[in-house]
Structure 1
Amino acid sequence: MTYRDGQRLSLEADGAPLRLSVNRRARRVSIRIDARAGEAVLVAPSERRLVDAIAFARTRTDWIRARLADRPVAVGLAPGQRLSVAGEDVTLAALPGAVAARLTDTPEGPVLAAGGEGAAWSRRILTFLKRRAREVLMARTEVHCRTLGLPLPKVSINDPRSRWGSCTPGRGTIRYSWRVILAPPAVLDYLAAHEVAHLVHGDHSPRFWAVVAQLIGDPAPHRAWLRQHGAGLHALAV
């Protein structure tokens, strides 16, 4: 049987949902959990290696089942909810009328408030979070590019299912997930350094990691934070 990139299937006698993915940068087959989709993603460096990824998954059924069961429950935005925005704990609030979201200081702490209710209110809060993500990540991207003597790339903000950022050196573009604005500032800085380093080295070779370390020091704590808390960031349903 021929398997293809993006195909979905279930493990025999287990029912665990799987999605096949080809990543030309990958050096080996691997498995990651897509918390938002509720499925395991089998990653292979080529379509020819997808069959190896499936064979590997069959040896890790207990791990896949446990990770899927442990993923955070999806939650939506709601007034009264508390979020960490670039390391600052804020409380969400609703205002009357069609008012754009704004962050204000109050005696009880920072409040991020927007007008409206339901989906309209959520969209205004999300617009604020995306704008803040772009501001912070753009600033750190500029700093790291200046350190390396690189021209500033075109930066965009989107909502990928897995990657926190991606870089296309040939086009001079970097894309970030808006969700990382919910991470601590040091993690945001690491992500910017990671993607800027890809403008120099498109792989994850030792030379690439040396550039990252040159920019922000040891990246290990920040990578560990994303592994531990990343599923929670994706659990925010918007």
Structure 2
Amino acid sequence: MKSSAQYQTGQRLPLEGGHALRLSVNPRARRISIRIDARKGEAVAIAPSERRLADAVAFARSKSVWIAERLAARVEGTALEPGAVIPFRGGTIRLEATGGAGAARLVEGPEGVRIVSGGEGEAFARRVINLLKRLAREALAVRTEVHLHALAQRPVTISINDAGSRWGSCSPHTRSIRYSWRVIMAPPEVLDYLAAHEVAHLVHADHSPAYWSVVKRLVGDHRPFRAWLREHGAALHAVGR
């Protein structure tokens, strides 16, 4: 076995079955863990420090069968193209082409709300994503402000991105929060939980019992929302892949 010094965060290693293992260090992690990055089709071994990476590699290799099963079961991507039906605010919404080069927008009609957009191919998909990002920013900004006020916290800088399989991150020192735009596809109460989750990190940077007590103060029992993301998150991350 290699020594810990020979492993580095970001390094990729082969696993049995031809799958890839990416190494990651998260100082906030309390233990070694493995997650599946459905978007990239690889496993990620997470260690709390560089010196624990060798242990993380050994643990991942002992779980190679489980990793292969999870990767095989990952959700296939859904193309953002006219006629596609994608998750939206806990339900679904249909994508329609309008011709021309107009921006994507929400339109309500007899058959319900749909997204209509100009553009073709990648241009159509890009316009749809831009709309979803804007809607996500608007909703998350509102809920973030609500939770900041509840905790008597100063304003933060919000950014919207698409960070792999992560839903959000908070940097207390810079008072900045990043959210994945994909949470706009989840039910509003799950989006609200995500905002509460990140705002609570301004009070406690870890995931200690004290931290979870802050989250509970903001949204009550958070377990159903976390369970929803675990069950449906891969499908949301597959949209547009």
| TM-score normalised according to structure 1 size | 0.97
Look up the equivalent residue of 2:135 and give its one-letter code: R
The answer for the alignment partner of 2:97 in structure 1 is 94
Maintained 8 Å contact 2:86/2:239: no
**Counterpart AA for 1:4:** Q
Could you tell me which residue of structure 1 aligns to residue 140 of structure 2?
137
Alignment of 1:7-46 (within 5 A): 7-11=11-15, 13-46=16-49
Counterpart Cα distance in 2 of 1:163 and 1:116: 29
TM-score (norm 2): 0.95
Q: Which runs of 5+ in 2 are unaligned?
A: none
Q: Separation in 2 of the partners of 1:76 and 1:234?
A: 12
Match of 2:64 among 31, 56, 61: 61
**1:176 maps to 2:176:** no
Counterpart CA distance in 2 for 1:174 and 1:138 is: 10
After superposition, the C-alpha distances for 1:154-184 in whole angstroms (9 at most, x for unaligned) are 0000010121000000100000001111111
Q: Structure 2 CA distance, aligned partners of 1:80 and 1:119?
A: 15
Query: Which residue, out of 3, 8, 12, partners 1:4?
Result: 8
Aligned to 2:238: 235
Q: Distance in 2 between matches of 1:193 and 1:28?
A: 24
Could you tell me which runs of 5 or more consecutive residues in structure 1 were left unpaired when the two chains were aligned. Answer: none
1:131-152 deviation per Cα after TM superposition (whole angstroms, max 9, x unaligned): 0000001100000001111112
Counterpart residue number, 1:118: 121
Q: Name the CA distance, whole Å, in 1 between partners of 2:14 and 2:133.
A: 35
Q: How far does residue 116 in structure 1 lie from its aligned partner after superposition?
A: 1.7
Are residues 1:203 and 2:206 paired? yes
Residues in 2 aligned to 1:206 and 1:196: alpha-carbon distance in whole angstroms: 16
Specify the code of the residue in structure 2 equivalent to 1:156. S
Identity of aligned residues (%): 59
Quick check: 2:196–2:215 contact (8 Å CA) kept in 1?
yes
CA RMSD of aligned residues (A): 1.1
